[in-house]
Amino acid sequence: MSNLFTRRLALLADDAHRDLLNQGRRGIERETLRVDMQGNLAIGPHPRALGSALTNPQITTDYSESLLEFITSAEPDVATALDELDRIHRFANAKLDHELLWSQSMPCTLPEEEDIPIAWYGTSHIGMIKHVYRRGLALRYGKAMQCIAGLHYNYSLSEDLWRVIKKSEQSTLDDKSYQSESYISLIRNFQRYSWLLMYLFGASPALSTHFLRGRKHELQTLSDDTLYLPYATSLRMSDLGYQNNAQAGLMPPYNDLESYMRSLSRAVRQPYPAYEAIGTRRDGEWIQLNTNLLQIENEYYATIRPKRVINSGERPVEALCSRGVQYIEVRCMDIDPFEPLGISLETSRFLDAFLLFCALDESPFTGETCNRENTENFALTVKEGRRPGLLLQRGGSAIKLQDWGLELLDRIQATSDLLDAQRGDEQHTHALVTQREKLLHPDLTPSARVLVELQTTEKSFEQFGLRQSIAHAEYFRARPLNDEENQYFNSLAKASLAEQEDMERTQTGNFDDFVVAYSERTPRQLCD
C-alpha cells in the first residue's frame, strides 16, 4: 500500500472529513433493446407514451429507435439511483404493447441492416444533429454494432473532498485544475485495472450467429444460432463488439486533461480519407455531419470518460475546457442478464470501492509501453479471462490473473472499510467477499453462469435472452407503480413532447448553418 494511499485514507477517515464521502454522486444509464414477444427487434417508432426521446431526461434512445436508454438522477447513495431505475423500468414495461426489454448486452435477432431503424428526434436542428450523427455511425461501423447495449456508471467525489486533499498535499494548482487532474489520475488507474471488472462482471461470452453478418471470427459453434468462446467474459468489449479501427492510436496516455482534450479536438477536425470518400450528402440529404475522424466527441469509443454536465448546444470538450472535469463515466459494464435492472446493488457497492481506490491510490504517468500493456491485458481478459492459469503483464513481467486480482481486492479492502465505516454497515465488504469468491471459483462469474445456462438448456443465445426478458417483464409488471409515481412519469412524458414541439415551432435559421456553427464550437486553441 503506497504512502500516498495510506495518507489519503487516514485523512478521509478523520471525523472532520469522513462525511465528505457521502457528498459524491452516482448515476446509472442503462441501455436495452425493444423486442417483440418472439425475441426479434421491435422496429416500430419510439413509443409516444414514453415521451420525447429528445427532451425526456429519463427515457430516451441511443443509436436506434429500438434501443431505449434509461437515465437516473445523480444521487449520493447508489441505492437511491437503483430505486429510481427500478421505477423507470416499471413505467416503461407498463407502456410497452406486446414488447419486451432485451435482457442481454449482445443484440437479439436483428433484421437486415437497412431495416434497423435509426433513432429519430424530430425536426428541430438539435434533433436533426442527433439523427444525422447516427446516420454517420451506420455508414462508418454498420448498424448491428450500434445495437449492442451497455450500462454506464457515473461517479463523482465531492468538490469539498478534493479541496481537502489538495490542501493536505499543499498543491499549487487551482481548485478546478486539481480536481480535473485528480480525475485523470483516477482514469489512469482504471485503465490499469479495468480488466478486473471484465473478469468479475463480463456477461457476454456468447452471441447470435446472425450478429456477425458474415464477418471473419475465431468463435466456436455452440448451436446453429449461437457462437461463443469457452473462457470469454465480454465479447461485447472485444474486437467483435465495439470496434473502430480508424480510432486506433487516437488517444495518448491519460497523463493530463489538456492532452486528452487536444486529441479529441484534433480528431473532430481531422479529415479521414475513407469518410471523405463517402461525403456528407447523398441525394440532397445529410448522411453524416462531416468527413472527419470523429463527427463529434461522443464517437470516440472509450471504456471510461472524463465528463462535465453540458449546457444546451454546448459540446463536451467545450465544457471540459471551460469548467473542468466534474465526474467520470464508466462505460465497459455489460448488462447483467440475471438482474432485471441490468446491475445489482452489490455490484454497485463494489464499483464504488473500486473507483475510490483508483482515485486515492498512487497513479504514475503512463507511456506507450504501459498503455499497450493495459490494452492487451483488457483484450486478453474479455476473450480468455476464465482460462485456468491465464497470465497478464504487469510492468513487463507475467502474473496470473487470479493472483493479481486477489492482490487488488486486498488493497480495495481499505476503501471498502472506509465506506462501510461511514455507512455504519458492511455492504461494501460483503460485495468484496463476493468478488473474491469469483476469483477463487470462476464458475461463479456471470459469463460462466451464462454458458452453463446455454449448455444445459436449448444451447441458444436467442432463446436464453428471450426467456430472461420475459422473466424480467413479469418481475416489473407484478409491481405496478402507484398513482403518484405514474403521474410523475406521465407528466414527464407529456412535458417532454410539448418541449420538443415548442423547439420545432420556434427555431430559426436553417440546418446547414446550424451544423457549421455547432462544428465551430470546438475550442480552436486545443487544435494547434
For residue range 343-394, list pLDDT tens digits in order. 999 999 999 999 999 999 999 999 889 999 999 999 999 999 999 999 999 9
Say if residue 229's pLDDT is above 80.
yes
Say if residue 313's pLDDT is above 90.
no
Q: What is the dihedral of CA 123, 486, 62, 54, to 10 degrees?
A: 20
**Residue 527: pLDDT band with limits 50, 70, 90:** very low
- Specify whether the CB–CB gap between 464 and 30 falls below 8 A: no
Q: CB-based contacts of 280: which residues, under 8 Å, 6+ apart?
A: 286, 287, 288, 289, 290, 291
pLDDT at site 315: 84
Say if residue 469's pLDDT is above 70.
yes
**Residue 519: pLDDT band with limits 50, 70, 90:** confident
pTM recorded for the entire structure: 0.96
Q: Other C-beta atoms within 10 Å of 279: how many? A: 11
- Specify whether the CB–CB gap between 334 and 203 falls below 8 A: yes
Question: 34 in helix, strand or coil?
Answer: strand
Buried b (16+ CB within 10 A) or exposed e, 265-274: bbbbbeebee
**Residue 528: pLDDT band with limits 50, 70, 90:** very low
pLDDT at site 377: 98
Q: Where are the beta strands (DSSP E) in 22-140?
A: 25-36, 59-61, 67-71, 99-101
Q: Of the given ranges (142-146, 162-166, 167-171, 337-341), which has the lowest mean pLDDT?
A: 142-146
pLDDT one-digit tens code per residue, 342-355: 999 999 999 999 99
- Specify whether the CB–CB gap between 244 and 251 falls below 8 A: no
pLDDT at site 264: 86
Q: What whole-number percentage of the chain has pLDDT above 90?
A: 86
Place of cell 452453463: 452
What structural domains and CATH numbers belong to the chain? 3-518 (3.30.590.20)
pLDDT mean over 503-527: 83
pLDDT one-digit tens code per residue, 53-102: 999 999 999 999 999 999 999 999 999 999 999 999 999 999 998 999 99
pLDDT one-digit tens code per residue, 7-59: 999 999 999 999 999 999 999 999 999 999 999 999 999 999 999 999 999 99
Q: Determine phi and psi for 308, rounding to 5 degrees.
A: -150, 135
pLDDT mean over 222-235: 97
pLDDT one-digit tens code per residue, 411-444: 999 999 999 999 999 999 999 999 999 999 999 9
Nearest-CA neighbor of 457 among 258, 197, 191, 223? Answer: 223
Q: Of the given ranges (204-208, 240-244, 293-297), which has the lowest mean pLDDT?
A: 240-244
Q: What whole-number percentage of the chain has pLDDT above 70?
A: 97
Q: CB-based contacts of 231: which residues, under 8 Å, 6+ apart?
A: 383, 384, 385, 386, 387, 390
Distance (Å, rounded) from C-alpha 268 to C-alpha 67?
Answer: 25
pLDDT mean over 100-119: 96
pLDDT one-digit tens code per residue, 265-284: 888 889 999 999 999 999 99
Q: What is the mean pLDDT of the chain?
A: 94
- Specify whether the CB–CB gap between 402 and 381 falls below 8 A: no
Which H or E element spans position 493?
A: helix 483-506
pLDDT at site 288: 97
- Specify whether the CB–CB gap between 160 and 153 falls below 8 A: no
Give the type of residue at 488.
Y
**Residue 518: pLDDT band with limits 50, 70, 90:** confident
